[in-house]
With several copies, the nearest count.
Chain A
Amino acid sequence: MGFEKFGHKSYTALTKVAGFVDRLVQGELFATRCSGCGRIYFPPRADCAGCLGSAMQWEKIPEKGKLVSFTRVNYAPAGFEADVPYTLALVDFGEVKVFGRLGSTVAEDEIKVGMELKPLVVTLPDGQLTYEFVLGNHKA
């Protein structure tokens, strides 16, 4: 349990990487790195697809990423209708990429593929935890 706290809407409660949420509570976004072979994973995982080991260490996502692509959506699946429009984005942090939403502080007309972004952990009004991507000079 614990993982149901992650996301605007959660579909999964039980996972061995529920520690991800504990770190969100601390305001930090983490990947996992395999202690056996050194592969790093985002999304975080309990098991390594490379060496089949299950010893993982948490590792913080860097502060500087680059926007790979994005879209502003006007339609949403059940449970997200009240959120539209919002912007989904893929951001490259070097060793890992991260998928999520762009923060509303990023003006629509300044969004550009290749722009620099950083992750920001956000607590939603209903208490759910998530993260979004904001400008590098964003002050929390």
Chain B
Amino acid sequence: MNKDVAIIGVGQTAFVRSYPGAVREMVFEAFAEAVRDAGITPREIGASLVCSAPEYDKQRSPAGMVAEYLGLNPQPTFVLENICASGTTGVRVAYSLIKAGLHDIVAVIGFQKMSELSSAESQERMGRGADIMWEAPFGTMMPAYYAMHARAHFAKYGTTEEDLALVRVKASRYGALNDRAVFRKEVTKEQCLSAGVVASPLKVYDCCANADGASCLILANAVRAKEISEKPVWILGLGAASASMNLTGRDSLEGLEVTRLAAREAYQMAGLSPRDIDVAEVHDCFTIAELLAYEDLGFAEPGKGTDLLRAGETQIGGRIPVNVDGGLLSKGHPIGATGGSQVRTIVLQLRGEAGPMQVPGAEVGLVQNIGGVGIYSNVIILGR
């Protein structure tokens, strides 16, 4: 078992509709929490990786601003971007910097202040996440792409809008328990099914909530982790892959090959299989994405994700609890902060510190984080 690099500190702001301060002040909250959690001082941090989708920020090159505010000069700092998967790419790069011997301790800082831009500015940027030459000119947005994946899954496997509603009902139940979540109301299947259509078959409650927020993870090499931490959480497996930005380059839409590839790599590196996972955080930016993840991660056979869901096997007490912190759907999705928040949830689970969301006895956890509509996928396996 790979026990070279560990996560020794985690922090996260509450995810909120509109953070009442500057980006730097929001980032500071998550950072201070992570540094205190790790029991170190900022001086001990060898480098900081700043994960963000830069078009949502007015500050150019936010790494400089963030490092200055957090007292992380003169250590190296840079920005990493994989849209919504930026945070877990940060983990992959931090792992590498540490394992390569360049740094002993690295901070992975993720943030997004979606409220920094006006609604018109946001709408403008949304169109440019798809290929600006060949897809954006038709008027495309994220929900439309996931809707097309949903439609394909419906057509091939008989999945229904009710199945999608079940995903959201589960998310909302756990979101209500999570004091860092932006959406804390429970919603019923009926509410989900009667909500307005965003992009058929996806309706309002099938879509995650925009939010402002920041997250921070502190990673360390084995020697330092054991010195510093009583409960280090080890990076057992890492997998990453990409797919064509244009849908025309995808073999099929019923699943995300990009996740299947990343998962295979992560399981292989960890020497584990889907059956070994006790708790998982998957990228449920839309309800359909969670269903696809069940299948792409090997928790269910292709087309059988709905069986797992309907049987309640992805709730606490089930075979493989998924997104028991409310997921992106209820916790919220501040793009650059999301991956770090997912990892934080699993770290707390493996430490037994997840409070009302705790999965009893969880020893091995998995994070799946997607960038764009299946353009990027990172899978990370963590263990105590």
Contacts and interface: CB of A to CB of B under 8 A. Distances in A.
Direct contact of A and B (CB under 8 A): yes
B133 A43 contact: yes
B246 A99 contact: yes
B25 A15 contact: yes
Interface residues of A, number: 46
B35 interface: yes
Contacts of A90: 148, 247-248, 253
B135 interface: yes
B137 A83 contact: no
Contacts, number: 151
Interface residues of B, number: 53
B141 A10 contact: no
B199 A75 contact: yes
B199 A72 contact: yes
For the complex, would chain A's binding face be called helix, strand, loop or mixed by DSSP majority? loop
A77 B123 CA distance: 5
B124 A77 contact: yes
Contact of A6 (B42, B137, B147): B137
A79 B20 CA distance: 26
Interface in A72-95: 72-80, 83, 86, 88, 90
Contacts of A86: 139
B313 to A, nearest CB: 27
Interface in A91-118: 96-101, 113-114
Interface in B106-135: 120, 123-124, 126-128, 131-135
B9 interface: no
Nearest to B149: A69
Contacts of B141: 73, 75-77
A15 B21 contact: yes
Given A9-B137, A11-B132, A74 B196 contact: yes
Contact of B127 (A12, A77, A100, A101): A77
A69 B132 contact: no
Interface of A: 3, 6-12, 14-16, 42-43, 45-47, 49-50, 52, 54, 68-80, 83, 86, 88, 90, 96-101, 113-114, 130
The 6 closest A-B pairs by CB, nearest first: A7-B137, A49-B71, A77-B127, A80-B139, A71-B147, A113-B155
Interface of B: 19-22, 25, 28, 32, 35-36, 42, 58-59, 68-71, 120, 123-124, 126-128, 131-141, 143-144, 147-149, 151-152, 155, 196-202, 246-249, 253
